[in-house]
Structure 1
Amino acid sequence: GIRYEDIDTQQKRYNDIDRSSSYINAENSTSETLLALGATYQLNDQWGLLAGVHQGFAPASAGAENVDPEESTNYEAGVRFAEENLFVEAIYFFSDYENSVQYCTVANPCGTQDFGSISQGKAEIEGLEFLLNYDFAGRAAYSIPFTFTYTYTDTEITSSSDEGDILKGDSLLDIPENQWAASIGYVAASGWDTYLNASYTDETCINYSCDRAGVDDRFLTTNDLLVFDLSASYPLNPKTRVYAKVDNLLDDQEIISRKPYGARANKPRTVYFGLQVSF
């Protein structure tokens, strides 16, 4: 595949809430042609292989000065297995960033900078994705679907920044090393269903120095988080369904962000009731 992008961005910031005068006016223009190649090969009825190479790109924001666009080359290779009520997929991925970019906003500042972009320099991301789908009910009239997904991600800055605040060997920010999600449900022949979901997110660095030797990282990382959700729905007729859902069933509270300017917890237990109508 071939993709061409031509992006113009503009930024204007005002001195007052009436927006009578502005103190920042910036713009940025970027164009890029990207190539991609992907292939699959079916070994037999159950086993298949996949591989791909893709160029990645992300423009610097309008307020960025002397920051090159983010450019990367992304590789993946994997295997798939499918048989009756079982599907399994495992994929290895590797991304080589010629230049990685962090976007700076009020909600996610780059240190004290809350606009524009900063260059993180050369970086590498590699990891493994795993997916499993299985129906415990087999060929029964009802269904007991089970899904499990897992992602392992390792990140590393491969060259120090010119300013010296980002060092070779540092980790990229806000990327958890381990993530997984699991879901098991029951779907009756009459159409009503219920699902129990669990999701886990590892702790993440919010500062480049959090993994450096001798650094006190107590306030430089988030907490890991395991959350359970429960949902159910019932069809009133072919086009109408009522549902109920409880997010964060056990009301577990952890620090999932320390930006901007302080610790923030995840959503508390939340209950929904609703009516869904299809036309």
Structure 2
Amino acid sequence: YEDVSLLKRDFTAADPRRSGKIRIETPNHARAWLPGLGFNVKLTSQLSLLGGVHRGFAPPSATLYQKAENSTNFEGGARWNSRFLKVEAIGFFNAYRNMLGSDLLAGGGQGTLEQFNVGKARVGGVELLAQAQPHIGRVNIPLQLTYTFTHTEMLNAFSSDAWGDVHVGDEIPYIFRHAANAQLGAEYRGYELNVGLRYNGAMRTVPGQGAMPKSETIPSHFIVDASAKARLNRHVTLTLNAINLTNARYLASRHPAGLRVGHPFGLYCGAILNW
């Protein structure tokens, strides 16, 4: 159970010293009962089934009459776990009775941080995972593959400053329909080396359905990352991370002011000290 009280105080331009004599106060309040049920059934020593249903909740912002986000979330799947191999396949379905959208720069918005009521929506998909850790002599070779398919659908029409005009059946913007990740590593004593390949499929930048117009799409792209770690002793560990190792050029957003490119090649190093 959650009981959330919110209050926003806006100090106007007529009160530059923030004395509080001239301000606008906006209250809001939300209550939610959040039950959940999950299960895990072990069919054999290696195979198990899992699933659950949970009530979802996100508090509104301190905006008068804005409603909280409410949803019912379902998931179910199977897990295979042996000595050298782990495989998971999980389906998920989220039914939103009232979804909240946020005006964030990271999501292609104006960055006002304001929330807005989206209404009813459905989000569903599948997550796949495969992990293995073979050995070559004393060297561990961790391998991992992940894939996520996500389908979104709006169930009501509305208009907002951030999303414009939205119609029934439109997909939610800035959510990849296809996303995959592959990682290959090598571990020997206190040394680690990892290489990762990220794939993001094309995604919409505004709500819509059917074929994606080029002017409203972020094209699919591959990104290669790498990292290294050296544990010198029990107190000192050195780290090195390379983002976008090939310096690939790709688009990340079309908002808030036109095209924005993704992260170029970046190299970061550091040290972890433990005492």
Which of residues 114, 117, 128 is equivalent to 2:115? 117
Distance 1:169 1:195, change over 3 A: same
Other-structure match for 1:198: 197
Which of residues 250, 254, 258 is equivalent to 1:254? 250
Other-structure match for 1:266: 262
1:83 positional shift? 1.1
Which of residues 240, 245, 251 is equivalent to 2:241? 245
Other-structure match for 1:27: 27
CA distance in 1, matches of 2:205, 2:250: 15
Specify the SS of the correspondent of 1:219: helix
CA distance in 2, matches of 1:250, 1:96: 40
CA distance in 2, matches of 1:187, 1:47: 28
Distance 1:261 1:27, change over 3 A: farther
Moved more, 6-15 or 239-248: 6-15
CA distance in 2, matches of 1:173, 1:124: 13
Distance 1:226 1:108, change over 3 A: closer
Amino acid of the residue matched to residue 49 of structure 2? Answer: L
Structure 1 gap segments, 5+ residues each: none
Pairwise CA RMSD: 2.6
CA distance in 2, matches of 1:41, 1:195: 34
1:173 positional shift? 2.1
Moved more, 112-121 or 73-82: 112-121
Amino acid of the residue matched to residue 157 of structure 1? Answer: M
1:146 positional shift? 0.2
Query: What is the CA deviation profile of residues 169-206 of structure 1, one whole-angstrom value per residue up to 9, with x for unaligned ones?
Result: 10112211011111101111x32111101112223222
Other-structure match for 2:232: 236
Whether the aligned pair in 1 keeps the contact of 2:28 and 2:65 (CA below 8 Å) is no
Distance 1:185 1:5, change over 3 A: same
1:96 positional shift? 0.8
Distance 1:196 1:105, change over 3 A: closer
Specify the SS of the correspondent of 1:49: strand
Given the alignment of the two structures, is residue 276 of structure 1 paired with residue 275 of structure 2, yes or no?
no
1:276 positional shift? 1.8
1:23 positional shift? 6.7
1:212 positional shift? 5.2
How many equivalent pairs are there?
269
CA distance in 2, matches of 1:232, 1:162: 48
Other-structure match for 2:141: 144
Whether the aligned pair in 1 keeps the contact of 2:107 and 2:174 (CA below 8 Å) is no
Specify the SS of the correspondent of 1:171: coil
Distance 1:19 1:74, change over 3 A: farther
Other-structure match for 1:173: 173
Whether the aligned pair in 2 keeps the contact of 1:61 and 1:103 (CA below 8 Å) is no
1:162 positional shift? 7.9
Specify the SS of the correspondent of 1:237: coil
Structure 2 gap segments, 5+ residues each: none
CA distance in 1, matches of 2:115, 2:240: 42
CA distance in 1, matches of 2:43, 2:226: 39
CA distance in 1, matches of 2:9, 2:221: 37
Other-structure match for 1:131: 129
1:148 positional shift? 1.1
Distance 1:18 1:200, change over 3 A: farther
Structure 1 length-normalised TM? 0.87
Structure 2 length-normalised TM? 0.88
Distance 1:146 1:31, change over 3 A: same
Other-structure match for 2:93: 94
CA distance in 1, matches of 2:26, 2:199: 40
Distance 1:212 1:27, change over 3 A: farther
Query: What is the CA deviation profile of residues 21-43 of structure 1, one whole-angstrom value per residue up to 9, with x for unaligned ones?
Result: 87753221111111000000000
Q: How does 1:50-129 map to 2 (within 5 A)?
A: 50-63=50-63, 65-105=64-104, 114=112, 116-129=114-127
